[in-house]
Structure 1
Amino acid sequence: MTIPALNHEQREQALDALETDEFDVLVIGGGVTGAGAAFDAATRGLKTAIVEAQDWASGTSSRSSRLVHGGLRYLYNLDFALVAEALRERGRLLTTLAPHLVKAQPFLWPLKTPVIERAYSAVGVGLYDVLALAGSGGKKTVPTQKHLSKAGAQHLFPDVRSDALIGAIEFYDARVDDARLVINLVRSAVRFGATAASRTAVVKIQQQPDGRVTGATLRDAETGRTLEVKAKSIIMATGVWTETTESMAKTRAGLKVLASKGIHIVVPRERIKAQTGMFLRTEKSVLFIIPWMHYWVIGTTDTAWHEQLEHPVPTSADIDYVLEHANAVLASDLTRDDIIGTYAGLRPLLQPIGSDEAKSAKVSREHTTMEVTPGLVAIAGGKLTTYRVMAEDAVDVALGKQAAAERPSVTKDTPLLGADGYQAVVNRRGEIAARYGWTQERVESLSDRYGSEIDAVLALVDADPELGKPLQSCDWYIGAEVAFACRYEGALHLEDIFIQRVRLNSTTPDRGIAAIEETAAIAAPILGWDEEKAAHEKDNYRHRAEAELAAQAAGTDQAASEIRMGAADVVDTTLQ
C-alpha cells in the first residue's frame, strides 16, 4: 500500500505546485488548528495548500500537556458549552478519528474534606460524565467516576502523601502525543490531495486594491527561494503569531491574543508509584501528573510571556513552582535530580481589551474565527482537543454560508491515517512481537504511535534488519522510527526528529545529545546529507540542546530567553 509521504522530494514538488497552481484555500500555520483546517478543506474536495514557517507542530502544538480533555476546571467557570463541545470531540478521537493516538487515561481528584467537597466535586465530575455521554449519543467512551476511600486512593496511587487527601474521585480523560497528531493530520490532508510545505514562511499577503486577498508571497527557509501562490481564500491559524500575520495585510478588523506560558517537567516512570494520573487545582492554574510510557509529565503553569515567541523556555522559578505543587501531594519528594526533561509552550489566549495579564488563567479558551478582510480568515484561541471544530469553523467562514452548506465538513467521521485497521493491528501484536523478537511492550508502543501504518515501519526493518534494533542511547525507540520520520513524516533536520517525532529533546536529561551520532547516521543517507551537512546538523542540534539546558537555570523569562537565543536556528524562519 502506498502511504502519504512528507519528505524532501514531496516538499520540492509542493513548492513547485504552490508557484504554478491556484488554490481554493491556503492555510498558514502547521499547528493542530492549521493542520486540522487543511484536512477539513481537503476532505471537502477543495484544492488546498498548507505552509508552516518552521517544522510541523513546532509551536504550541508540540508543547501541550499531551491531553485530550473536556476541561473539568471550566465547569467551575460555568463554561458548559465549551466543556460539552470538548467532550464530544474527545469521544470522536477515542473511537473513530484517532484511537491509535488517543487513549483513555484515569485520574485521581484528591479530596481534603469528607462531606462538602466530596459532594460538590461529585456533582462536577458527574456532570462531566453526563455531558460526555450526551455528546457520544449515550455511548460510554470512557468509564464513569468512582468514589474512593483514603485506602482505595492510596491503593491506586501509593505515592500520594497521607495528609494530602481523605479520599478521592477517580475520573477519566485521555492522553495524546500532540506532535504526532498534528503530523498525522498534515499527512492525512495530503492523502486527500492537499499540497503541504514546512519551513516555508509567508512574508506578504497579496491583495487587490479593494482589499480582497488573492494569494501570498512565500519564502523557502531552506534555500531562500521566494515564490508567489494564488489562493481564493487564506486561513491564518498562527496561534501566538496571529497579530504578526495579520500585519502582513491591510485589514479592516483583527484578533488579539495573549501569549501565556505553560511549562512541564518530565520524571522517570519508576520515580512515582501509581496506577493513575492525578488532577489538582492550584491558585494559578491546574496541575496534572500524567503517566506516559516510560515517564511522567507534570505541569502546568499559566503566566504572561513577553519575550520572543519562537523558543519559549522554562525558568528555574517555573521548575520550582511545579516541583513544589507536585511535592505537596507526592510522598516521592521529587527533586531537580529526578527531572529528565522540561519543555515550555505558549497558549494563544484571546485577549480582551484592558485585560489583566497577571490573571491570564481566567482568559477564555474559546476560539474566535473572523474574516479580517475579504478572503482572509483569522482563527485564534481554543485548545488542542477542539481542533476539529475550530478547523470546521475556519473553513466554513472561508467558504461563506452558502458554499459551506453545499460542501459541509465530513471530518466528524473521517479517520486519520493509522486509525483504519488499528484494531486488526492490536490483534496481531503477539505475532509481530514473535516475528521480530520484540517485547509486547515495544509492539504496543509502535502500534499506538503508527496504528495500521505499522506495516510501513516493519517494511523498513525487513529491508534493513539493523533498523529493528533499539537506539543505543535510548531503547524506547528503534532505528526504523528515525527512518520513518525522514521518509514519511517530513523531518528535514535533526531537531525535527528529536523534538516532534522521536521525542528525546524533552524526555532525556541531555535532550538527546547522546543520540546525535546514531540518529544522524540513519538520517543522513535518506535526507541526502554529505559529511559537511551532517556535521553542521550535529553541531547545530548540540548547541541548541546545550542552550536549552542552560536556559532552564535562569531566574527570569528575559534571562532564559536570551540564553536560549544564543543558539542559532538551523535555518532562518523569518518569524522574529
Structure 2
Amino acid sequence: MAKHQEAQFLGPQQRADAWDHLQSEQFDVVVIGGGVVGAGVALDAATRGLRVALVEARDFASGTSSRSSKMFHGGLRYLEQLEFGLVAEALHERELSMSTLAPHLVKPLKFLFPLTHRVWERPYMAAGFLLYDQMGGAKSVPHQKHLTRSGALRMSPGLKRNALIGGIRYYDTVVDDARHTMTVARTAAHYGAVVRTSTQVVGFMREADRVSGVRVRDSEDGSTAEVRGHVVINATGVWTDEIQSLSHQRGRFRVRASKGVHIVVPRDRVVSEAAIILRTEKSVLFVIPWGGHWIIGTTDTDWNLDLAHPAATKADIDYILGQVNKVLVTPLTHADIDGVYAGLRPLLAGESDETSKLSREHAVARVAPGLVAIAGGKYTTYRVMAQDAVDAASEDIPARVAPSITEKVPLVGADGYFALINQTVQVGQSYGLHPYRVKHLLDRYGSLIHEVLDLGAASPELLQPITDAPDYLQVEAVYAAAAEGALHLEDILARRTRIAIEYPHRGVNCAEQVAQLVAPVLGWDAATVDREVETYRARVVAEVESQAQPDDASADALRAAAPEARAEILEPVPISR
C-alpha cells in the first residue's frame, strides 16, 4: 500500500520515475489522452489488475475536460430526442458519482425550468420530468415540483415577469470538471498506473501486423522514449483523427469538433437561488451557480481551427448575452464578464452538418490488432466509456482480464468525506481556519484535506490566501505542484484552481506570487519564474484580444500566436477533414 500512496502523489519525483518505468516495462494497456475518458480508462484497467501507462501531451483535462458546462448532468434534453438509454445511463452515473464515487466533487444543484407556453407545455414537461425522476433522476434528490409564476419568481427574482408563465423545479449536479479529471488520474496512479503528463505520442511501434506500443516525446525537454504495450487505447477526444493518422490505420469513425463558449459573471448580477435552464432556438442555455459567480453557456458551432486553443469570439459572447438578456430584469453587459472559456466537444461525425444533431453516444472500435479507439459520448458517462474501451482492448491482452469494478471504487478524497463535513469546525480550529474555508477545501480535496494543509505546518504563511485570488490559499498552489501533477503556471491558474475564469484579472495579478510559491517545488530558477509569468500573461492577453474579434479565423490567429508553456510540444500535421 505504501507504494500506492507514493504513486498517488503526482510530483516531480514521481514524474522522473514514471519516465524510467515507461521505457523499461511491458504494459498491458497504454492509454493516450489525459482527459476524463483517458483517465477513466487508466483507472478501469488498473483496478482490473492490468499494468497500465497513461500519457498526456499537455496537462490533465487541458482539452475538453476542463471546459464543460460544469455539470454531471442526467441528459434531460435527450428525452425529447427519445434517447432513453442514454438518459438512464447518465442518471445512473450521476447518482453513483454524487453518492459514492466522488461526493466531494459532484454536488446536487437545484434548477428552475421556466415555462413559457400556456396549456400544452406544463403537462408535456411534467411527463418528461416524471420519466426523468423514475429513471433515477430523483433517487437521492427531491422529485420535480411545479411552481406558479409567482412561485418561480420567488425562486428567481432576477427573471422578467413576462419571461415565464410558471416553472418546474428539478435537480441536477455541478462539478469542477478539471479537478474531477485530475482526481480520476490520481486514483488510477493510486492503483498502480504509471501516469505522466507533458508526454506526447509522436508515433506508433509495430511487430508484424500489430501495434506494439508508442513513441513518446517529453513536451518539456524534447527527450524521446518507446513505450511497449499489448494494446494502445486512443482516448484523445477531438485529437482522435490526428492520432489515428499517426498510426497509419484507417479509422472506423470520424470525430467532429463543436465549439462551446461560456461566460462567467459575478453572482450578484443575477438574482436567483437556483440554476436556470433556458430553451433557445438552437439548443438550451444554462445559468449555473459557481461559487461567487454564474457560468452561462453554451454555444454550439463547428470548429476547424487550432484544437488546443479554441477561441471565443465577440459574436459568441454577444449570442450568450443576447439569449440570457431576453429573460433577465437587469441585462448583462460585456463589462459584467469576469471570465470566458471555450471548449470543443468531440462529436461522432454523422450525416447532418449541424453539430447539435450529431450523436452524443460514444463509439469504440478495434482499429487494428493492438489499437483501440474510443470517442464521442459525454462527460457524465466517462466511466461507462472507459469500461467499454477496456472490454474491447481485452482481446489483445494475453492474460485473462477481470470484469470492470469501477462502480465500487471511490476516487481519492471520497472516503471519509462525509465524516469530515461533520467535523468542519474542529478541522478549522486545528489549522486556524474559518469553517467556510474548510468547507471550500473539502469540496476540492475531500479527505485529502490534511495532506494539503499539512504542507503549511512548517510554513504557516502558506495557510494565508493568495493575495489577488483570496478564494484560494497559498498552500493550494504548492500542493498542485507537489501532488497534483501541475508543471506550469497555466496548469495551476486555469485547472487546479479556476483563478483564470473567476477573477477579472484572469490570474495575471497573482501570477508572480504563485510562480514564487511553486518555484522551490518545481526547481525553477529566477529566469524560469520570469518566463512562466510572461508566458501566462501573453496567454491571457491573447485570449482577451481574441474575444473582441468578430469571427473564428481572426480570433484563432490571435490566440494561436501566444507562446506555449510546454516549449517542446509538437503541433500535429493537419489532416483533411
TM-score, scaled relative to structure 1: 0.96
Match of residue 301 from structure 1: 299
8 Å CA contact 2:312–2:340 kept in 1: the answer is yes
**Secondary structure of the residue that 2:514 maps to in structure 1?**
helix
8 Å CA contact 1:235–1:378 kept in 2: the answer is yes
Given the alignment of the two structures, is residue 222 of structure 1 paired with residue 220 of structure 2, yes or no?
Answer: yes
Matches of 2:101 and 2:451, distance apart in 1: 20
Q: Cα deviations across residues 446-486 of structure 1 (Å, max 9, x unaligned)? A: 00000000011120122211111111101110001101100
Aligned amino acid, residue 248 of structure 1: L
Match of residue 575 from structure 2: none
Q: Cα deviations across residues 478-524 of structure 1 (Å, max 9, x unaligned)? A: 00110110010001111111111121112222210001111111111
What's the offset of the Cα at 1:403? 8.0
Matches of 1:552 and 1:402, distance apart in 2: 47
Matches of 2:305 and 2:433, distance apart in 1: 46
8 Å CA contact 2:394–2:401 kept in 1: the answer is no
Match of residue 355 from structure 1: 352
Q: Which of 56, 64, 70 pairs up with 1:66?
A: 70
8 Å CA contact 2:231–2:396 kept in 1: the answer is no
- More deviation, 501-510/313-322: 501-510
1:308-347 maps to which residues of 2 (within 5 A)? Answer: 308-347=306-345
Given the alignment of the two structures, is residue 551 of structure 1 paired with residue 546 of structure 2, yes or no?
Answer: yes
Matches of 2:465 and 2:247, distance apart in 1: 49
What's the offset of the Cα at 1:128? 0.8
What's the offset of the Cα at 1:355? 3.0
Match of residue 502 from structure 1: 497
Percent of counterpart pairs with the same letter? 50
Aligned amino acid, residue 545 of structure 2: A
Match of residue 538 from structure 1: 533
Matches of 1:169 and 1:205, distance apart in 2: 52
Match of residue 90 from structure 2: 86
Aligned amino acid, residue 177 of structure 1: D
8 Å CA contact 1:51–1:198 kept in 2: the answer is yes
1:132-211 maps to which residues of 2 (within 5 A)? Answer: 132=136, 140-210=139-209
What's the offset of the Cα at 1:401? 9.9
- More deviation, 405-414/490-499: 405-414
Match of residue 231 from structure 2: 233
8 Å CA contact 1:29–1:236 kept in 2: the answer is yes
Question: RMSD of the TM alignment (CA)?
Answer: 1.5
Cα 1:406–1:496 change in 2 (3 A) is closer
Aligned amino acid, residue 492 of structure 1: L
What's the offset of the Cα at 1:405? 7.9
What's the offset of the Cα at 1:115? 2.5
Matches of 2:487 and 2:495, distance apart in 1: 11
Matches of 1:227 and 1:402, distance apart in 2: 22
Aligned amino acid, residue 355 of structure 1: S
Matches of 1:34 and 1:445, distance apart in 2: 28
8 Å CA contact 1:98–1:419 kept in 2: the answer is yes
Given the alignment of the two structures, is residue 399 of structure 1 paired with residue 371 of structure 2, yes or no?
Answer: no
Matches of 1:442 and 1:313, distance apart in 2: 34
Aligned amino acid, residue 234 of structure 2: M
Q: Cα deviations across residues 299-333 of structure 1 (Å, max 9, x unaligned)? A: 00000001111100110000000011111111121
What's the offset of the Cα at 1:67? 0.3
Matches of 1:533 and 1:422, distance apart in 2: 38
Q: Cα deviations across residues 251-276 of structure 1 (Å, max 9, x unaligned)? A: 25432011000000000112111110
Q: Which of 6, 20, 24 pairs up with 2:28?
A: 24
**Secondary structure of the residue that 2:549 maps to in structure 1?**
coil
Matches of 2:29 and 2:378, distance apart in 1: 23
8 Å CA contact 1:114–1:167 kept in 2: the answer is no
Aligned amino acid, residue 151 of structure 1: S
Matches of 1:502 and 1:93, distance apart in 2: 21
Given the alignment of the two structures, is residue 413 of structure 1 paired with residue 408 of structure 2, yes or no?
Answer: yes
Match of residue 569 from structure 2: 573
Q: Cα deviations across residues 105-147 of structure 1 (Å, max 9, x unaligned)? A: 01100001232100001111111111116xxxxx822211000
Q: Cα deviations across residues 30-78 of structure 1 (Å, max 9, x unaligned)? A: 0000000000000011000000001111000000000001111111000
Aligned amino acid, residue 106 of structure 2: V
Given the alignment of the two structures, is residue 120 of structure 1 paired with residue 116 of structure 2, yes or no?
Answer: no
**Secondary structure of the residue that 1:475 maps to in structure 2?**
strand
Match of residue 258 from structure 1: 256
Matches of 2:164 and 2:64, distance apart in 1: 34
Aligned amino acid, residue 294 of structure 1: G
**Structure 1, unpaired ranges of 5+:** 134-138
8 Å CA contact 1:101–1:176 kept in 2: the answer is yes
**Secondary structure of the residue that 1:53 maps to in structure 2?**
coil
Aligned amino acid, residue 260 of structure 1: S
Match of residue 270 from structure 2: 272
Matches of 2:140 and 2:525, distance apart in 1: 50
What's the offset of the Cα at 1:188? 0.4
Matches of 1:166 and 1:93, distance apart in 2: 34
8 Å CA contact 2:218–2:568 kept in 1: the answer is no
**Secondary structure of the residue that 2:74 maps to in structure 1?**
coil
Matches of 1:115 and 1:405, distance apart in 2: 59
Q: Which of 419, 441, 459 pairs up with 1:464?
A: 459
8 Å CA contact 1:29–1:237 kept in 2: the answer is yes
TM-score, scaled relative to structure 2: 0.96
What's the offset of the Cα at 1:438? 2.8
Structure 1 outlier segments of 4+, above 6 Å: 401-405
- More deviation, 29-38/430-439: 430-439
**Secondary structure of the residue that 2:529 maps to in structure 1?**
helix
**Secondary structure of the residue that 1:453 maps to in structure 2?**
helix
8 Å CA contact 1:279–1:287 kept in 2: the answer is yes
Match of residue 42 from structure 1: 46
Given the alignment of the two structures, is residue 107 of structure 1 paired with residue 106 of structure 2, yes or no?
Answer: no
8 Å CA contact 1:31–1:58 kept in 2: the answer is yes
What's the offset of the Cα at 1:406? 4.8
Aligned amino acid, residue 231 of structure 2: S
Matches of 1:430 and 1:280, distance apart in 2: 39
1:416-435 maps to which residues of 2 (within 5 A)? Answer: 416-435=411-430
**Secondary structure of the residue that 2:240 maps to in structure 1?**
helix
Aligned amino acid, residue 407 of structure 2: K
Match of residue 519 from structure 1: 514
8 Å CA contact 1:250–1:373 kept in 2: the answer is no
Matches of 1:74 and 1:123, distance apart in 2: 14
- More deviation, 477-486/503-512: 503-512
Matches of 1:321 and 1:404, distance apart in 2: 53
Match of residue 285 from structure 1: 283
Match of residue 438 from structure 2: 443
8 Å CA contact 1:7–1:490 kept in 2: the answer is yes
Matches of 2:396 and 2:219, distance apart in 1: 36
Given the alignment of the two structures, is residue 10 of structure 1 paired with residue 14 of structure 2, yes or no?
Answer: yes
Matches of 1:276 and 1:433, distance apart in 2: 29
Aligned amino acid, residue 559 of structure 1: S
8 Å CA contact 1:159–1:332 kept in 2: the answer is yes
Matches of 1:311 and 1:572, distance apart in 2: 16
- Give aligned pairs, total: 567
Q: Which of 96, 99, 104 pairs up with 1:95?
A: 99
Q: Cα deviations across residues 82-114 of structure 1 (Å, max 9, x unaligned)? A: 011000000000011000000000110000123
Aligned amino acid, residue 469 of structure 1: Q
Aligned amino acid, residue 68 of structure 2: S
Matches of 1:457 and 1:425, distance apart in 2: 14
Match of residue 136 from structure 1: none
